[in-house]
Amino acid sequence: MKPYYVAMIEKDVYWVGARDWNRRLFDALIPLPQGTSYNAYLVVGKEKTALVDTVNPGFHAELCDKINCVGDVTKIDYLIMNHAEPDHASAIPVIMNASEKAVLVTTKKGAEMAATYSKVPEGRMKIVGDGDSLDLGGKTMRFIEAPWLHWPETMFTYLNEDRILFPCDFFGAHTAVGLYDDEVKDLMPLAQRYFGEIMMPFRRMGAKAMEKIKGMDISIIAPSHGPIYRNPERILNEYRRWTAGETREKAVIAYASMWGATESMVKAMEETLSSEGIEVRVFNLAIADVGDIARELVDSRAIVLGSPTLIGGMHPLAIFATSLVGILKPPAKYAAFLGSYGWGGGALKQAQEMLHPTRIEIVGAVDIHGTPGDEEMRRVAELGRQLAGKIKGAGPSIASTSAVA
Ligand SMILES: Cc1cc2nc3c(=O)[nH]c(=O)nc-3n(C[C@H](O)[C@H](O)[C@H](O)COP(=O)(O)O)c2cc1C
Ligand SMILES: [Fe+2]
Ligand SMILES: [Fe+2]
């Protein structure tokens, strides 16, 4: 007998997921300081049994063993796939092989992806759409289409009788710690970090999903990463703000500097913004944690980018940070640039070109020749005051939700 802990989160609803304490990177990009978890849930009805999502590669045997602690993996009737990404879908072939009668339940797009990724034959799939439900016998699973959270096929599942929402990646957090939200210290910064790296690019689709679940009676939110919310209002409140793109009087300064010229201008900018009452977060890109930057971008109204010129363009770390802004699509409205060059320059031009598609307004730039003197520092302070004025003038900003992500 293996020493597994299978938590019952409601009567006949079990957490059969896995904790991955050793994972240190997600998407080969974002550090995971506390690892993560891949939550899967077994719902046992009087007539039928359903498994909601599966786990990452490396945890298939653990998933089957856990299911067998409270049920029988060879007797699963429905495998509900909320999302086709391998961290939740990789064990689909294992479950479908173990239980001959298992039918994969997913959206139309999900069925295409399950055929591609998991080689599930068409005859073993049941396509569901908004409002469809499955009766397990005293447990009714209802489906809510919620596309692009975080791939095109995603949906949420709601268990009517127990008022549990299974939203897969949405409302998640990367941490292996704890089972319930109230057991994890400083959970909200972790949830915000996760939102920044995983959900922020799809913020507008997130807002639509929030609209869809508004008014639903939800007693538990059981996502597929991190703790289960038995206090759902906590995360719902944050997601209302984050998906709306609500920003604070706050600026993220991200910079690279080889010999300290750009860095000294960053320091002057930080001091000016702080003295104007703006909340500031400074990241030296040579040592920064990308997940921390993503977290702070969730509610920052401005971004200051600092880069010297290196071979006619920005420093590669500043290029990386700027491309992240393009990918993560933070709700920031304003930007400023600080830089230094030795001869022909070029970093500023590249920053302007890279930021152009984001439609973030570049309030100004100070790009200087060599090391900054009093006059240059005065210009940085002036730009800082101008930026602070913009930040404060914008009022509590709600980014537009009209366009599709
Ligand atoms: C590897 C390297 C490449 C550089 N390439 C350029 C360049 O192409 N054009 C330019 O104007 N200056 C170039 N410079 C000069 C720097 O932009 C200049 O020293 C600047 O003041 C450095 O700012 P920092 O102190 O913030 O690192 C280069 C410097 C280094 C170390
Ligand atoms: Fe995902
Ligand atoms: Fe995931």
Q: Which atom of ligand 1 is nearest to the CA of 370?
A: 21
Answer yes or no: is the C-beta of 350 below 6 A from any ligand 1 atom. Answer: no
Query: How far out from the chain centre does Cα 288 lie?
Result: 18
CATH 3.30.70.1710 fits 7-244, yes or no: no
Instruction: Please give the Cα distance from 28 to 62 (Å, whole number).
Output: 24
CB 290 within 8 A of CB 239: no
The residue whose CA has the least distance to atom 12 of ligand 1 is 342
The one-digit pLDDT tens for each residue of the chain (405 residues) are 678 889 999 999 999 999 999 999 999 999 999 999 999 999 999 999 999 999 999 999 999 999 999 999 999 999 999 999 999 999 999 999 999 999 999 999 999 999 999 999 999 999 999 999 999 999 999 999 999 998 999 999 999 999 999 999 999 999 999 999 999 999 999 999 999 999 999 999 999 999 999 999 999 999 999 999 999 999 999 999 999 999 999 999 999 999 999 999 999 999 999 999 999 999 999 999 999 999 999 999 999 999 999 999 999 999 999 999 999 999 999 999 999 999 999 999 999 999 999 999 999 999 999 999 999 999 999 999 999 999 999 755 555 433 333
- pTM over 0.85? The answer is yes
Q: Is the CB of 192 under 6 A from ligand 1?
A: no
Reading the block at residue 51, the tokens are 């498994």
Query: Is the distance from the beta carbon of residue 316 to the nearest atom of ligand 1 less than 6 Å?
Result: no
- Count of C-beta atoms within a 10 Å radius of residue 130: 12
Strand order in the sheet with 164-166: 133-135, 140-145, 155-159, 164-166, 220-221
- Residue 22, phi then psi, degrees to nearest 5: -95, -15
pLDDT of residue 397: 53
User: What are the structural domain ranges in the chain?
Assistant: 7-244, 252-391
The pairing of beta strand 279-284 with beta strand 41-44: unpaired
Q: Which ligand has the shortest distance to the CA of 40? A: 3
Architecture of domain 252-391: 3-Layer(aba) Sandwich (3.40)
- pLDDT score, position 2: 75
Atom of ligand 1 nearest to the CA of 369: 21
Question: How far apart (Å, rounded) are the C-alpha atoms in residues 336 and 303?
Answer: 7
CB of 258 closer than 6 angstroms to any ligand 1 atom:
yes
Which residue's entry shows tokens 């302007």? 352
DSSP letter for each residue of 277-299: T-EEEEEETTT--HHHHHHHHTT
3-state secondary structure of 336: strand
By three-state DSSP, how is residue 375 classified?
helix
- pLDDT for 3 equals 80
SS3 label, residue 320: helix
* Other C-beta atoms lying within 10 Å of the C-beta of residue 203: 22
Encoded tokens for 97: 């092989």
- Number of the ligand 1 atom closest to the C-alpha atom of 341: 17
Residue pair 291/27 in contact (Cβ under 8 Å)? The answer is no
Q: With the C-alpha atoms ordered 315, 317, 322, 326, is the resulting torsion angle positive or negative?
A: positive
Is ligand 1 within 6 A of the CB of residue 261? yes
260 lines ligand 1 (CB under 6 A): yes
**In terms of Cα–Cα distance, which of 328, 301, 324 is closest to 314?**
324
Distance, first Cα to last Cα, the chain: 48
Which of 257, 304, 310, 369 maximizes ligand 1 atoms within 8 Å of its Cβ, making it the mutation to test the pocket? 310
Closest Cα to residue 232, out of 260, 210, 251, 263?
A: 210
Burial of 93 per CB tally in 10 Å (0-12, 13-18, 19+): middle
